[in-house]
């Protein structure tokens, strides 16, 4: 009820203004100890994925907290993990405004933000300043990308810099090669390009592992618009290069499910309910091909607990929400956790996936 009122106010504002206002007020509420009073309690539901112990399998997808300013505040809503970013080596403003559009009848959002962020050094400073979420057992993932003005043939340089900078401060690192809002970025999902990128990151991670004395898991985020026939080869490439998880999926450029709606013609990535079915189908296809050799983080159109269960039943080990958080409010976290808790236990797929649930 409380969030329904808040949403009506926020939805009367420009989406990006509403986003910034929400985070500002959230930070104030957190400082006063109020955030836990406005959402459901989330009892533990531990799960081990990528060798990490998550307090529950429901996370916040990147984009909400691009610069890692609000990890502790957002974590107070009961998330098992927060993924901050996408961050680039150098600060950049992103694409021109307006660049976020609500498709309310479809429970969707189109964004063409373009990796607007304050740069990786600022992100690292912000992560250092916070720690309450982690002390409570929360997992922090840091999502890296390339600067818009970096030529695609030099993309590995930017990803190396990002990995070097965040390595010591991340529980896992996510590699974003699937945003539709940075020119040519999705070309990195091609066979030759992906092999080159992952080989470079594998070698860089080995150097960082020796330097820091720890191995930080690496996940790669893919697009929902890939052809079904391309997905097995991509999955095999990830396994071959020692990647620890695949994140499926990013936003979509298709408009089949929102045709004719206000703002449907806007360019950018579409998220929310219109993405649910396709994102789940990608998770299912990957799971059937991988057979447990690589854990899957399911994201895309999770608007409630039933959607989270569908992703888990399709083969995900973890799930992430974003647009569902916008439309349903912070209670969506507890709803998803409780729905997953009520699922029949999944059989273990393999030691590598390491998925374990307990009540």
pLDDT tens figures, 26-37: 999 999 998 877
If pLDDT is split at 50, 70 and 90, which confidence band does 125 have? very high
| pLDDT confidence of residue 284 | 98
58: left (phi over 0), alpha (psi -120 to 50) or beta: beta
If DSSP codes are grouped into helix, strand and coil, which group holds residue 244?
A: coil
- Level-2 CATH architecture, domain 2-341: Alpha-Beta Barrel (3.20)
Return d(Cα 171, Cα 212) in angstroms, integer: 13
Return d(Cα 28, Cα 37) in angstroms, integer: 14
| pLDDT confidence of residue 184 | 96
Return d(Cα 286, Cα 316) in angstroms, integer: 9
Query: What share of the chain has pLDDT > 70, as a percent?
Result: 96
- The number of beta carbons lying within 10 Å of the beta carbon of residue 95 is 18
If pLDDT is split at 50, 70 and 90, which confidence band does 356 have? very low
If pLDDT is split at 50, 70 and 90, which confidence band does 96 have? very high
**219-258 pLDDT, tens digit each:** 999 999 999 999 999 999 999 999 999 999 999 999 999 9
Q: CB of 50 within 8 A of CB of 354?
A: yes
Q: CB of 333 within 8 A of CB of 319?
A: no
CA atoms within 13 A on the CB side of 164: 11
| pLDDT confidence of residue 265 | 97
Return d(Cα 273, Cα 295) in angstroms, integer: 24
Among 1-5, 155-159, 298-302, which stretch is predicted with the lowest mean pLDDT?
A: 1-5
Q: Is 179 a catalytic residue?
A: yes
| pLDDT confidence of residue 352 | 42
The token pair at 254 is 């298709």
pLDDT at residue 351 tops 50: no
Instruction: Considering the candidates 179, 271, 328, 353, report the single residue annotated as catalytic.
Output: 179
Average pLDDT over residues 83-97: 98
**36-60 pLDDT, tens digit each:** 777 788 999 999 999 999 999 999 9
Query: Dmax of the chain from CA atoms?
Result: 54
Backbone angles phi, psi at 110, to 5 degrees: -110, 130
């Amino acid at each position: 009820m409380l969030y329904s009122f808040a949403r009506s106010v926020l939805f009367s504002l420009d989406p990006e203004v509403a986003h910034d206002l929400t985070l500002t007020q959230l930070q104030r509420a957190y400082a006063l100890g109020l955030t836990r009073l406005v959402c459901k309690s989330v009892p533990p539901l531990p799960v081990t994925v990528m060798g990490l112990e998550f307090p529950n399998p429901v996370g916040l997808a990147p984009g909400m907290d691009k610069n890692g300013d609000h990890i502790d505040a957002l974590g107070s809503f009961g998330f098992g993990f927060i993924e901050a970013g996408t961050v680039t080596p150098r600060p950049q403003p992103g694409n021109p405004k307006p660049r976020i559009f609500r498709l309310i009848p479809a429970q969707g959002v189109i964004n063409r933000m373009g990796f607007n962020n304050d740069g990786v050094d600022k992100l690292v400073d912000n992560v250092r300043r916070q720690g309450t979420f982690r002390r409570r057992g929360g997992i922090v993932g840091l999502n890296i990308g390339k600067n818009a003005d970096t030529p695609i043939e030099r993309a590995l340089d930017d990803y190396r810099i990002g990995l070097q900078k965040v390595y010591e401060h991340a529980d896992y690192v996510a590699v974003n090669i699937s945003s539709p809002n940075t020119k040519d970025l999705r070309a990195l999902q091609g066979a030759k390009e992906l092999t080159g990128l992952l080989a470079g990151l594998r070698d860089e991670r080995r150097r960082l592992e020796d330097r820091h004395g720890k191995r930080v898991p690496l996940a790669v985020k893919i697009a929902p618009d890939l052809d079904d026939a391309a997905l097995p080869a991509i999955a095999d490439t990830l396994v071959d290069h020692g990647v620890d998880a695949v994140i499926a999926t990013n936003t979509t450029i298709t408009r089949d499910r929102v045709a004719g709606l206000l703002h449907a013609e806007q360019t950018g990535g579409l998220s929310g309910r219109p993405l649910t079915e396709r994102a789940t189908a990608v998770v299912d296809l990957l799971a059937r091909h991988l057979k447990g050799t690589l854990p899957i983080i399911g994201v895309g159109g999770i608007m409630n607990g039933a959607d989270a269960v569908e992703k888990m039943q399709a083969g995900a080990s973890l799930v992430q929400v974003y647009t569902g958080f916008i439309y349903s409010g912070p209670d969506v976290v507890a709803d998803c956790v409780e729905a997953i808790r009520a699922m029949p236990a999944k059989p273990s797929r393999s030691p590598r996936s390491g998925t374990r649930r307990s009540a």
